[in-house]
């Protein structure tokens, strides 16, 4: 029992680069499948080339939210006027955080847990990031399963949600249903159902007497009754929906295959998965703008109906900041993990700027493709665009499929759309699983050095089993619950502590000097903006979002279905499970440090011995003195240049 507990604590608390013995196995390492002959770091490996890193980062940042959330937020918050707060929040919150995390990971070539060797008392922040990435990975792949199912269902004509077929109930209708209430008018003997104001006994029902009967569109009923087989609530779990379970299994198999050799294999896959969504969006945009009513949709999205007065509403600014924060995937650990495989002198600043601008440009571009076709749908139904525009699941699996079913050759457009959602989701999942694999490899470098494929496949298998409750008849309620709680408060708190730890404890000036070791010296004017953001502006923005989110918190719901009290309590427990490691790890570090209480606090608030660039050849200046972790992995040094530290230092 003690052996297993020791292994568990080592994963979280061990300083990973330290070891007592070093084997002279340089030639063997070069033969590892996850290490290339041109890699400068033959212990961990590097990206094969710059393109693979950039495509992986863009694929990670550009996800489903760019397609199904941003366009709706823009329409809701003033159309084109929303771009003003959106760009401002990108500049003051999005890019600074992305630049911070990518620089942090690249500098020390470690994952989101072990970068905190720079500040051991904050290592629990990295643990929280890994845990939230794990929880998000469980339900995010369920959304990929939905996309797979709809893609397979699209291989038939007509599309199964294009009309009220055998699977529907009496509440399904393509047209509105209205009742003429004769009690309010003379000469009417009984209530009469009329469609589109048809005549009854050579007369038209008076407008004031018409009562609309709520109905569901075929696409809405297909989503509820066929795809989800949705139960009445979280209390009614129901059996596993096997077609979704099989799609979930297929999704995890695709991810495991792509990550079989770590970044060496996923870097090849992203050549397709990161670029294909842009091809589909361009095709959908070209097709959409040629449809009747497309202009109305675009006008609602970001055209002449933009409302500048919305800028005076605080909620607009909060939505802009929240969208930037989540769409760039900061504080999840993925940015740090992916950048840790960069070569040391890679221009991380230019890369961060490119990825952030590409991500936001994609959001705006996707909105044109989405709303042009929604405009056509509104034209067909004779409704304003505001009545067909939705966000989230409602857009991806109800409104947009309904719109596509109205087009000629509708199966083709449907297949392309859901295949695009699949590739968008896969890219984000690659990085999420890479976070877990990277942290395990960094924690046990000798044990897992040649077992990268086992880690990837084993992680995917475990997360598949944990995701099975999300493909029961109550699965959509679990997905919504985890999405609202796991992908919310934890990320905001982790990002805030990340900024505080790096710039108020580790030292902002020291961190800037670390970055200059990688990208070269920059002028003080260059750093003026970044200092202002990192020290003041970005923490203030995150604090406002966090406080506002707490004050305006509403219990989760799915449509009209409210969650039971135990479900809401479970959501808060998930948040607590992720955050509790921050104080626990801090206490553990203090207890393991040596000296009196003040000396212990100083020790855990200072970098451990050996902190700095991973390879000896990149260490210079203040990182050349004292004992260091061994650097047997530098291709520029002979194999007998080995450095190690004593055991007691690993306890810091």
The answer to whether the CB of 534 falls within 8 A of the CB of 92 is: no
Could you tell me the CA-to-CA distances from 106 to 41, 92, 615 in Å, in that order? Answer: 12, 22, 12
DSSP 8-state assignment for residue 163: S
Alpha carbon distance 444, 454 (integer Å): 14
- Joined together, the tokens standing for residue 621 give 């200046």
- Residue 38 known to bind ligand: no
Q: What angle do CA 270, 274, 280 make, to 5 degrees?
A: 135
- How long a stretch of residues is the chain? 652
Alpha carbon distance 71, 80 (integer Å): 11
Q: How do 177-180 and 557-558 pair as beta strands?
A: unpaired
- Residue 424 known to bind ligand: yes
Could you tell me the CA-to-CA distances from 137 to 142, 360, 459, 541 in Å, in that order? Answer: 9, 23, 10, 27
- Residue 595 known to bind ligand: no
DSSP 8-state assignment for residue 226: I
DSSP 8-state assignment for residue 563: P
Contacts 24+ apart (CB under 8 A), 194-200: none
Q: How many CB atoms lie within 10 A of CB 173?
A: 17
Q: Which residues of 9-35 are buried (b: 16+ CB within 10 A; e: fewer)?
A: eebbbbbbbbbeebeeeeeebeebebb
- Residue 427 known to bind ligand: yes
- Residue 540 known to bind ligand: no
Half-sphere exposure (Cβ direction) of 372: Cα atoms closer than 13 Å: 18
- Residue 62 known to bind ligand: yes
The answer to whether the CB of 169 falls within 8 A of the CB of 225 is: yes
- Residue 66 known to bind ligand: yes
- Residue 294 known to bind ligand: no
**Which residues are registered as beta bridge partners of 562?**
557
- Residue 304 known to bind ligand: no
Per DSSP, the three-state class of 203 is strand
Q: Residue 277: name the closest of 573, 64, 96, 118 by CA.
A: 64
Q: Residue 43: name the closest of 8, 14, 19 by CA.
A: 19
Alpha carbon distance 309, 477 (integer Å): 36
Which phi and psi (to 5°) does residue 224 adopt? Answer: -80, -45
Alpha carbon distance 187, 192 (integer Å): 13
The answer to whether the CB of 119 falls within 8 A of the CB of 506 is: yes
DSSP 8-state assignment for residue 169: -
Q: Residue 472: name the closest of 155, 231, 211, 200 by CA.
A: 231
Alpha carbon distance 386, 419 (integer Å): 27
Alpha carbon distance 171, 173 (integer Å): 6
Alpha carbon distance 177, 329 (integer Å): 44
> Rounded to 10 degrees, what is the CA torsion of 587, 591, 594, 595?
90
Q: What is the largest CA-CA distance in the chain?
A: 104
**Which residues are registered as beta bridge partners of 194?**
178
Annotated binding-site ranges:
59, 61-62, 66, 327, 359, 424, 427-428
Annotated binding-site ranges for Na(+):
59, 61-62, 66, 327, 359, 424, 427-428
């Amino acid at each position: 029992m003690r052996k297993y507990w020791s292994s568990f604590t080592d994963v979280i608390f061990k300083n990973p680069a330290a070891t007592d013995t070093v084997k002279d196995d340089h030639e063997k390492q070069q033969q590892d499948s996850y290490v290339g002959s041109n890699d400068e770091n033959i212990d961990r490996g590097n990206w094969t080339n710059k393109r693979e890193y950039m495509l992986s980062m863009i694929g990670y940042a550009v996800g489903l939210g760019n397609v199904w959330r941003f366009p709706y937020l823009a329409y809701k918050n003033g159309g084109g006027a929303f771009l003003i707060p959106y760009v401002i929040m990108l500049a003051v919150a999005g890019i600074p955080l992305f630049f911070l995390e990518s620089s942090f990971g690249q500098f020390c070539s470690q994952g989101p847990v072990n970068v905190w060797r720079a500040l051991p008392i904050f290592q629990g922040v990295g643990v929280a990031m890994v845990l939230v990435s794990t929880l998000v990975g469980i339900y995010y792949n369920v959304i990929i399963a939905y996309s797979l199912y709809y893609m397979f269902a699209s291989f038939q004509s007509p599309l199964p949600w294009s009309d009220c077929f055998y699977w529907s109930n009496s509440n399904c209708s393509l047209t509105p249903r209205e009742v003429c209430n004769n009690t309010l008018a003379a000469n009417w003997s009984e209530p009469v159902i009329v469609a589109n104001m048809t005549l009854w006994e050579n007369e038209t029902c008076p407008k004031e007497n018409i009562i609309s009967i709520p109905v569901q569109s075929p696409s809405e009923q297909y989503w509820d009754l066929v795809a989800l087989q949705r139960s009445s609530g979280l209390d009614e779990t129901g059996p596993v929906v096997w077609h979704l379970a099989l799609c979930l299994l297929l999704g995890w198999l695709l991810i495991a295959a792509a990550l079989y050799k770590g970044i060496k294999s996923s870097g090849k896959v992203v050549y397709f998965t990161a670029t294909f969504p842009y091809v589909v969006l361009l095709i959908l945009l070209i097709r959409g703008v040629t449809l009747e009513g497309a202009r109305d949709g675009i006008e609602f999205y970001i055209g002449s109906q933009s409302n500048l007065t919305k800028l005076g509403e605080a909620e607009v600014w909060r939505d802009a900041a929240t969208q930037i924060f989540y769409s760039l995937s900061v504080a999840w650990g993925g940015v740090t993990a992916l950048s840790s495989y960069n070569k040391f002198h890679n221009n991380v600043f230019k890369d961060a700027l490119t990825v952030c601008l590409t991500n936001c440009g994609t959001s705006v571009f996707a909105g044109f493709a989405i709303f042009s076709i929604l405009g056509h749908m509104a034209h067909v139904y004779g409704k304003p665009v505001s009545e067909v525009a939705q966000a989230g699941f409602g857009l991806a699996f109800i409104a947009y499929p309904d719109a596509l079913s109205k087009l000629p050759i509708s199966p083709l457009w449907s297949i392309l759309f859901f295949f695009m959602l699949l590739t968008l989701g896969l890219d984000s999942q690659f990085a999420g699983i890479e976070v877990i694999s990277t942290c395990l490899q960094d924690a046990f470098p000798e044990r897992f050095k040649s077992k990268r494929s086992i880690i990837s496949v084993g992680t995917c298998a475990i997360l598949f089993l944990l995701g099975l409750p999300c493909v029961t008849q109550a699965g959509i309620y679990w997905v919504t619950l985890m999405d609202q709680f796991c992908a919310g408060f934890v990320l905001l708190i982790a990002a805030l502590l990340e900024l505080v730890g790096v710039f108020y404890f580790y030292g902002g000036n020291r961190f800037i000097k670390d970055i200059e070791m990688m990208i070269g010296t920059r002028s003080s004017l260059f750093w003026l903006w970044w200092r202002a953001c990192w020290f003041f502006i970005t923490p203030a923005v995150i604090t406002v979002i966090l406080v506002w989110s707490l004050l305006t918190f509403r219990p989760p719901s799915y449509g009209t279905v409210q969650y039971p009290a135990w479900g809401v309590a479970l959501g808060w427990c998930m948040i607590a499970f992720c955050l509790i490691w921050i104080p626990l790890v801090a206490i553990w570090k203090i207890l393991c440090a040596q000296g009196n209480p003040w000396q212990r606090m100083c020790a855990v608030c200072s970098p451990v011995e050996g902190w700095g660039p991973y390879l000896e050849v990149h260490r210079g200046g203040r990182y050349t003195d004292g004992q260091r972790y061994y650097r047997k992995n530098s291709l520029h040094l002979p194999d007998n240049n080995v450095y190690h530290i004593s055991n007691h230092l690993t306890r810091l």
